Chains A and B, each alone.
Chain A
């Protein structure tokens, strides 16, 4: 039980670091939203599963379950609201032009 919780917490930490890095280095709103969706959905879900495994069976499990279900409903809708707002504001999605060298993507942003 403890080892499984540790595995989920480490997984959440790795996704969290990578999501933050993606939000910082990606070139425009939509791609940043993709990285943020990775980070905020998968990493927070991993933290929740780890906390559920640690808390065990009791009155905490029901509330954690309610919070997880609510997070699962609201988070994609919030991401969709932001994407729709960006599209209605008129932000053009970034597209990859002719690539000179393969490493040029990392310096963007």
Chain B
């Protein structure tokens, strides 16, 4: 049944990419991007448990960290204020 979960997550990621493409403002695109990041994390974990590969869990952890840092950097870049966290 993990195989069906994998197919389901791939289709769901493709559907939620639509908000990234058509979003009218920057914040809408970031909402879509956050959703895509979370679902990709779930996809990595499901693949790792289904194939019994431990190394993909490390990849999932690093992917989560970089998704978070990416959202942070994007908000800092678009708001244009510097020097304050």
A contact set with B: CB distance below 8 Å? 5-6, 9, 12-13, 16-17, 19-20, 23-24, 29, 32-33, 36, 39-41, 43-44, 47-48, 50-51, 54-55, 59-60, 63-64, 66-67, 70-71, 74-75, 77-79, 81-82, 84-86, 88-89, 91
Task: Report yes or no: A6 in contact with B45, Cβ–Cβ below 8 A.
Answer: no
Interface residues, chain B, with chain A CB atoms under 8 Å away: 1-2, 5, 8-9, 12, 15-16, 18-19, 25-28, 30-32, 34-35, 38-39, 41-42, 45-46, 48-49, 54, 57-58, 60-61, 64-65, 67-68, 71-72, 75, 78-79
Q: Which residues of A contact B28 (CB under 8 A)?
A: 29, 32
7 further A-B contacts with Cβ under 8 Å, apart from A24-B15, A48-B42, A91-B25, are: A9-B1, A17-B12, A40-B38, A47-B5, A63-B54, A82-B75, A91-B27
Q: How far is the CB of A54 from chain B (nearest CB, A)?
A: 6
Residues of B within 8 A of A29 (CB): 25, 27-28, 31
Q: Is the CB of A20 within 8 A of B16?
A: yes
